[in-house]
Chain A
């Protein structure tokens, strides 16, 4: 299985953390809150599409009434395969850093 890229990890973690609240704007805000990085919507949706294509996330569209925004939101939920991939990535990270002290460099 292909190892997740850092961006994909960030997205998956953000979606997992948001639970039921994970739709475009919130995901973007959450990522900003977590990492300080701002993604453009272009990058955001390309990555989400990619993750959906790989079956790491599923999406469902919801019609809402919201004068301030649009009238449609797409909520994302992480799948089992997504969690699996996340865990694998984490194991890899930890294996990589094992035995290296934080102040080593």
Chain B
């Protein structure tokens, strides 16, 4: 036969159809289909034939599955029926299992969504993987301290663009600036204005709705605003081409800017969210220094594809050391690059961030906690199903006798755990739906329920569900299917089952986690309490602080002070450069008797006469500033130092010594104030210099602090607001209490403490559930034994001890395991604080007693019931 070669049908389809032949003896489906395929090919072409083959193949596969699974389906129906019967028959254990798993899954999903949110920050930029932020690290000469800052010198970006080929584009973005804007005849107060290069739109993905990204920020005095702002100030009109006037806070000068573009609102997942982007060129026009001495900017660079940023870091370092640093006179500069995607979670040690981000540490801790909770729930399942094995043993044997093989049984039991797990997962999703709102508020992130409808997340959820199902079902399945029909049908039940140590091990494991959590919660809440109640060296209760976003003249300060003091309920008013909790102003001071070249670096604050009184600080040497003594204001002014500053300056007799910001501005030290906790408790005491501002009013007063009496607080604040409106007009009255601001500094710690508390409660809850189930099984299993013991004269206490002792034993062992681990980890956590509580013996004791007590209570419920039951009831039947 001389027939031409015919093409073969699609290989994948052939392979698929071939699978079908495995199950059948006389089958020629592939050959038949090939014959028709060839015919089709001859008549209607290759493509039609292929389509035909595929559709036939798929159809055959589906038909085959439907046809053949009939028998399997009948078996499956039986399995499902038995599973539901078991769930129904043993309501308590099913409840324990399902509720445990549901709680576990709920925590897991919530935490997972949180982590997913945290990790997805700043990833909406197209080039997010190639964008880096320059971190500027400065080390003190003696290498005792170093600080990392997110902002760097304005001359850096042009240098990087000129000198390094790896850099595709780079931009400077200034810090947030507060100020006031005039639009038409209205004045508004704004908080988020930044300066940026025109290249900001090359580096970041900030699409403009209106305007040309290439040129929008090219000329001086141009500004791009976001959609929200445009809507707010211009309504539906197009703002492009219009003008606005802007004045930086503390500065009286207003300039006119042209709006050259409107950008889409920056997503909440961005680490910076300015509403106004002013062109960098404006800075040049206004004559600001933009060299290595200029005001700091955030620098972002976009690298070319395939460039290695570690390599670039080294190159930059070499270049800077060779060419720049001698000019700048400063020493120990280092520039490092931080990937954009790290900014949100890994910037806790970096200063000058735009906004406070998350903390990778807490992300890790949360995931570990969620994992623990699910694990505890799994352990419950394993323990209860193996314990329940005695009941199931007969079923297993009958199935085996009738002809089930072991793999079938394993599949059945795995299936049961799957059903339970999936049911829990469904319920957990409902719970997540309910709790996601409060949870999102609690963690302070904008997490929405619809973020769960993401293919990746769904896949992870299903994966976790299956994994948990297998994890919790596998051991019971293997264990239950191992029963030998002969021994069990003979009646030798339970001898083997009683012996397993795994269950005890798992109880120990479960309780170790719970005890560890109890201990940690005790320590964390102890430390948080300590923070909350710590005497800081200044009074923070009943102090109202008002941010002053503008330059107050001496008159406003005097008028405000005089009028405020007349309001009933106000005990004191002070204007100052910074606050005792903040102390964010640094100065280099010259001082008498200075021997080295180095100036004295210290926290610095301009204050007025009443600062010490309002904050109720304690003068331990010398005297307070006084209005009566005119010399306090004359000459270089007068100073009060804190103990640390006095000590570091090394004077024998500090009072009367001179200190100042330059040789001609030296002023006298008149008093020493007791050390107070400036900044956070993570840091030890820092030197602080308080200067009574010359002239009696503060040139740069950023804060007004008002001490109020406890009565009628709202009334007093309203009175202050009224005065504010009269004096200030355009700026909104924004106030806060100093103690709230202080607590705010520890927001993430407080959050962390609360999360720990809830997790601990849940973990204890689930473990106790499991323990409860186990004890009731033991009690039931040894019901006859207990009855006989009682008849023979055992007392209730004896029986109680008999039942409880072995569990108590395991809880004690769990304590021994958990407490050292807890000690180690908590000790490490506390090390971060310069001011912290001590780990005392009592904390271990409390944790121990608490865990012991909870376990004992759980056990007692069942033990007492078993011990007091009437022996006749359980013996009568046989």
In-complex Cβ contact of A70 among B20, B34, B62 (8 A) = B34
Separation of A69 and B63 alpha carbons in the complex (Å): 23
Residue of B nearest to A73 (CB): B28
The yes or no answer to A84 lying at the interface (CB within 8 A) is no
Which chain B residues border A23 with CB–CB below 8 Å? 28, 32
Q: Is A99 an interface residue (CB 8 A)?
A: no
Question: Would you give 28 A-B contacts (Cβ < 8 Å), ordered by A?
Answer: A23-B32, A24-B29, A24-B32, A28-B32, A28-B36, A41-B29, A41-B32, A41-B59, A42-B56, A42-B59, A42-B62, A42-B63, A43-B59, A43-B63, A45-B27, A45-B60, A46-B63, A46-B64, A49-B24, A61-B26, A68-B6, A69-B31, A69-B34, A69-B35, A70-B31, A70-B35, A72-B31, A74-B28
Q: How large is the interface on B (under 10, 10 to 19, 20 to 34, 35 or more residues)?
A: 20 to 34
Give the residue name and chain of the B residue nearest to A46 (CB).
Answer: B67
> Which residues of B have CB within 8 Å of A45?
20, 24, 27, 29, 60
- The answer to the question of B3 belonging to the interface, with a C-beta cut-off of 8 Å to chain A, is yes
Partner of B38, one of A68, A71, A72: A68
A67 adjacent to B62 (CB under 8 Å): no
B797 → chain A closest CB, angstroms: 69
Q: How large is the interface on A (under 10, 10 to 19, 20 to 34, 35 or more residues)?
A: 20 to 34
CB distance from A61 to the nearest CB of B (A): 5
Question: Known pairs A28-B32, A40-B59, A67-B5. 14 more at Cβ < 8 A?
Answer: A23-B28, A41-B60, A46-B64, A49-B67, A60-B26, A68-B6, A68-B35, A69-B31, A69-B35, A69-B38, A70-B32, A70-B35, A74-B27, A74-B28
Indicate whether B30 reaches chain A with its CB closer than 8 angstroms.
yes
A69 to B3, CA, bound (A): 12
The 7 A-B residue pairs whose C-beta atoms are closest, nearest first, are A70-B31, A69-B35, A42-B63, A42-B60, A24-B32, A74-B28, A59-B26
CA distance in complex: A70, B39 (Å): 12
- Give the B-binding residues of A (Cβ under 8 A): 23-25, 28, 40-43, 45-46, 49-50, 52, 59-61, 66-74
Instruction: Name the residue of chain A whose CB is nearest to the CB of B28.
Output: A74
Closest Cβ–Cβ distance, residue B112 to chain A (whole Å)? 42
- The reply to whether A67 and B60 form a contact with Cβ atoms under 8 Å apart is no
B398 smallest CB distance to A (angstroms): 29
Q: Give the residue name and chain of the B residue nearest to A68 (CB).
A: B38
- List A contacts of B206 (CB < 8 A): none
- Interface contact A70-B30, CB-CB below 8 Å: yes
Q: Are B56 and A69 in contact (CB under 8 A)?
A: no
State how many angstroms separate the Cβ of B213 from the closest Cβ of chain A: 57
A52 to B60, CA, bound (A): 18
- Identify B28's interface contact among A24, A28, A49, CB under 8 A: A24
**Separation of A70 and B1 alpha carbons in the complex (Å):** 16
A1 to B468, CA, bound (A): 49
Q: Tell me, yes or no, whether B61 is within 8 Å of chain A by CB.
A: yes
Considering only CB atoms, which chain A residue lies closest to B1 in the complex?
A: A67
Asked, given contacts A24-B32, A41-B56, A45-B60, whether A67 binds B27 with beta carbons under 8 Å apart, the answer is no
Residue from the list B3, B20, B28 in contact with A72, Cβ < 8 A: B28
Instruction: Please name the residue on chain B nearest to A74 by beta carbon.
Output: B28
Answer yes or no: B33 CB below 8 A from chain A CBs. Answer: yes
- Closest beta carbon of chain A to B8's beta carbon, Å: 11
> Chain A residues near B61 (CB, 8 Å)?
42
Closest residue of chain A to B26, judged by CB? Answer: A59
* Contact residues in A for B6 (Cβ distance below 8 Å): 67-68
Residues 28-60 of B contacting A (Cβ, < 8 Å) = 28-36, 38-39, 55-56, 59-60
Give the CA-CA distance A25 to B36 in the complex, in Å: 7
What residues of A have a CB within 8 angstroms of the CB of B1 in the complex? 67
Interchain CB contact under 8 A, B35 and A25: yes
Contacts of A42 in B (CB 8 A): 56, 59-64
Q: Nearest chain A CB to B57's CB is how many angstroms away?
A: 8
Measured in the bound complex, the distance between the Cα atoms of B61 and A20 in whole Å is: 28
Chain B contacts for A66, CB-based, 8 A: 35
Interface centre among B28, B31, B62 (most CB of A within 10 A): B28
Complex: A50 Cα to B36 Cα, angstroms: 23
Residues of A within 8 A of B31 (CB): 24, 69-73
Residues of chain A contacted by B59 (CB below 8 angstroms) = 40-43
Closest CB in chain A relative to B43 CB, distance in Å: 12
Nearest-Cβ distance from residue B568 to partner chain A, whole angstroms: 92
Residues of chain B contacted by A43 (CB below 8 angstroms): 59, 63
- Chain A, residue nearest B3 (CB): A67
Minimum Cβ distance to chain B for residue A50 (Å): 8
A29 CA to B526 CA in the complex, in Å?
Answer: 85
Q: List the A residue with the shortest CB-CB distance to B39.
A: A68
Q: B26 contacts A74, CB within 8 Å? A: yes
Q: Report chain B residues within 8 Å CB of A50.
A: 67
CB distance from A54 to the nearest CB of B (A): 14
Known: A60-B26, A61-B26. A25 touches B32 (CB 8 A): yes
Contact mask B693-727 → A, CB, 8 Å, 1/0?
A: 00000000000000000000000000000000000
Q: Would you give the shortest CB distance from A73 to chain B, in whole angstroms?
A: 6
What CA separation (Å) do A49 and B68 show in the bound complex? 11
The distance from the CB of A77 to the nearest CB of chain B, in whole angstroms, is 12
Contact with A along B364-398 (1 / 0, CB 8 A): 00000000000000000000000000000000000
Cα distance A59–B30 when bound, in Å? 16
* Inter-chain contact B32/A69, CB cutoff 8 Å: yes
Q: Looking at the assembled complex, report how far the CB atom of A53 sits from the nearest CB atom of chain B, in whole angstroms.
A: 11
In the assembly, what is the distance between CA of A5 and CA of B126, in Å? 63
